[in-house]
A and B are shown apart, each in its own frame.
Chain A
């Protein structure tokens, strides 16, 4: 039987871990100083609204019972105890670091809609540079724009006191310009939503739609080692 992995925890949940999306009992497997939450399955679940929402419900239930949780990507089925241990042990330091970041916190998602802000033209002083230097400068500016989402600048003053960490993904497919993921202290979602609403006029004509709170999906380590 294979192990379907729902989440990585820093500590055991308060109360019973409950059942998984297929009603299978959940188990906690300690590896490298973290706990993997797994259920036994023969095959990965089909992708459907029911299974996606059931998986999310399991993660939300676990999140409510612990201080720190890292959701695992949907469909992660590992073939037995050895594969599970191999998958987690090598990443344990990164996972512990990420668990410390998300402890007592949750995610808000901000979709930014509108017309893309123009990238500042290369400064005249740089016009004398060769094509390689100009390319690198342009790339630096684009990378900075990806990270900062300048269209959100009018909201920053209101959001900064609430935001503990941020990840952003630039779509540049108008009207959707970017998805921004904010990590906030648990219980601060109403204040966050109020801040977005209060800043709407200053943001116009750009629009921001906030959803959440979510478990901190966007703050989990993604890279394979």
Chain B
């Protein structure tokens, strides 16, 4: 449960640059093992939240530019 809470906090606190890091590291890159996703608790939640938060990435970028 702690891992899921931590996963939620990652994206709740994310700025635009961390969203890109999450997108790059968890959904891109060479896949060498099918065990990667199931081996990381909370990643399923991250995927779901990432999709929602990327929708707000332009708003976050606006705030950073101001």
Residue positions of A touching B, CB distance < 8 A? 5, 7-8, 44, 46-49, 52-53, 55-56, 70-78, 87-88, 91, 95, 109, 111, 113, 171, 173-176, 179, 181, 207, 209, 211, 214-215, 217-218, 220-224
Contact = CB atoms under 8 A, between A and B. Distances in A.
Given A46-B3, A171-B55, 7 more contacts: A47-B26, A72-B32, A74-B36, A76-B36, A175-B58, A211-B20, A224-B31
Interface in B25-65: 25-26, 28-37, 39-43, 46, 51, 54-55, 57-58, 61
Interface residues of B, number: 38
Contacts of A46: 3, 6
B33 A53 contact: no
Instruction: Give the dominant DSSP class at A's interface.
Output: mixed
A56 B24 contact: yes
Interface of B: 3, 6-7, 10, 13-14, 16-18, 20-26, 28-37, 39-43, 46, 51, 54-55, 57-58, 61
Given A47-B43, A221-B30, A71 B21 contact: no
Given A74-B26, A75-B36, A109-B20, A223 B57 contact: no
Nearest to A212: B20
A74 B39 contact: no
Contact of B25 (A8, A70, A73, A109): A73
Contacts of A222: 28-31
B33 A48 contact: no
Given A49-B18, A176-B54, A71 B10 contact: no
B6 A218 contact: no
Contact of B22 (A44, A52, A71): A52
A173 B38 CA distance: 26
A179 B20 CA distance: 11
B29 A220 contact: yes
B13 A49 contact: yes
B31 to A, nearest CB: 5
Contact of B29 (A49, A71, A223): A71
